[in-house]
Amino acid sequence: MTVTSYTERPVAKAGAKLPKVNDEPDALSVPWSRPRPKRSRVSARVVSAITILVVLAAWALSARLQLVSPVFLPSPAAVWTKFITVARDGFVDATLAQHVAASLGRVFAALVATIIVGVPVGLAIGISTIGRGIFDPLLEFLRPIPPLAYLPLVVIWFGIGEPSKILVIAIAMLAPVALSTAAGVRGVSQERINAARSLGATRAQLVRHVILPSALPSILTGLRIALGAGWSTLVAAELVAAARGLGFMIQSAAQFLVTDVVVMGILVIAAIAFALEFIIRRIERVLVPWAGRE
């Protein structure tokens, strides 16, 4: 008696017809070929929305039950009411729109300065050994220093005007942009570089048409990280002789224990940062649609 496996097929003799064989695998003989039920995928946006709703519900419940004093944790309704009041009537001699405009102006001015300086520095680190030797120690020196540590020195050198505030924010944003650019340059495929050289590309053309476009995803990632560092430094920068700004508004409200304004300012900063993150991700999809698909 011969036992045949399920992989064997009957061999036809000359002139004979093979019986019709069902091509579908037998679920009993091939147990691992059973069709598995498709699992419905949960969207990350749905999970994020549920998480935000849970946090808001816990916040509202704790305020409702007065688990924490309203002086330290106002209710969401009180924060929303204060948002409407500050947007309409203002706080510390400026409306909410004026505070937002002042902070956005400082952050964007620092971002432009960081791009102008940080991207060439990152290219120099990634391309040249001399550039790496010059700029890498300086970046590693600045990167771990908190902004409040060098803020007094910046004020002594540049005064208490807008340049000192923008400079403090730009220093905090410089390291992420430069190091991300350098990482993107090092990650450029050597085959692309060799192909461009074989076609007679000069060093400048190689940087412009091969290295820079290939490093663009890393540069945009560095910008996203730098914006987060810039917003976190904004409050420290607006401590020095500022008359407007979200950080100045939060600090002024904290001095008088106006906690609802403090919480409202924090939420406004978070909302603006989230919007900028969304915009940069859309720009990344337009400029580098191939990122992550190679």
Q: What is the pLDDT of residues 243-262, one digit of tens each?
A: 888 888 888 888 888 888 99
User: Residue 72: inside a domain, yes or no?
Assistant: no
Q: Is the pLDDT of residue 7 over 90?
A: no
User: Residue 138: inside a domain, yes or no?
Assistant: yes
Q: What is the DSSP letter of 21?
A: -
pLDDT band, very low/low/confident/very high, at 36 (cuts 50, 70, 90) = low
pLDDT band, very low/low/confident/very high, at 4 (cuts 50, 70, 90) = very low
pTM of the model: 0.74
CA distances (Å), 249 to each of 85, 117, 174, in order? Answer: 14, 30, 26
Q: Is the pLDDT of residue 13 over 60?
A: no
User: Residue 24: inside a domain, yes or no?
Assistant: no
List of residues 6+ apart from 87 with CB closer than 8 A = 95, 96, 97
User: Could you give the 3-state DSSP secondary structure of residue 94?
Assistant: coil
pLDDT band, very low/low/confident/very high, at 3 (cuts 50, 70, 90) = very low
Q: What is the CATH number of the domain that holds 126?
A: 1.10.3720.10
Q: Where are the beta strands (DSSP E) in 145-292?
A: none
User: Could you give the 3-state DSSP secondary structure of residue 184?
Assistant: helix
Structural domains counted in the chain: 1
On whether the CB atoms of residues 227 and 273 are closer than 8 A, the answer is: yes
Q: Write out the two tokens for 11.
A: 């061999």
User: Residue 54: inside a domain, yes or no?
Assistant: no
The Cα 228–Cα 232 span in angstroms is: 6
What average pLDDT score do residues 214-236 get? 87
What pLDDT is attached to residue 177? 92
Q: Which long-range contacts (CB under 8 A, 24 or more apart) does 151-156 make?
A: 151/236, 151/237, 151/239, 151/240, 155/240
Q: Which long-range contacts (CB under 8 A, 24 or more apart) does 72-79 make?
A: 72/259, 73/259, 73/263, 74/259, 74/260, 74/263, 78/260, 79/260, 79/263, 79/264, 79/267
User: Residue 140: inside a domain, yes or no?
Assistant: yes
Q: Is the pLDDT of residue 157 over 60?
A: yes
What pLDDT is attached to residue 92? 81
User: Residue 278: inside a domain, yes or no?
Assistant: yes
User: Residue 231: inside a domain, yes or no?
Assistant: yes
Domain that holds residue 205: 90-287
User: Residue 66: inside a domain, yes or no?
Assistant: no
What average pLDDT score do residues 158-185 get? 89
pLDDT band, very low/low/confident/very high, at 113 (cuts 50, 70, 90) = very high
- Report helix, strand and coil shares of the chain as percent, to nearest 5: 70, 0, 30
Q: Is the pLDDT of residue 2 over 50?
A: no
97: nearest Cα among 108, 106, 88? 88
Share of the chain above pLDDT 90, in %: 13
Higher pLDDT among residues 118 and 11, named by residue: 118
Higher pLDDT among residues 290 and 58, named by residue: 58
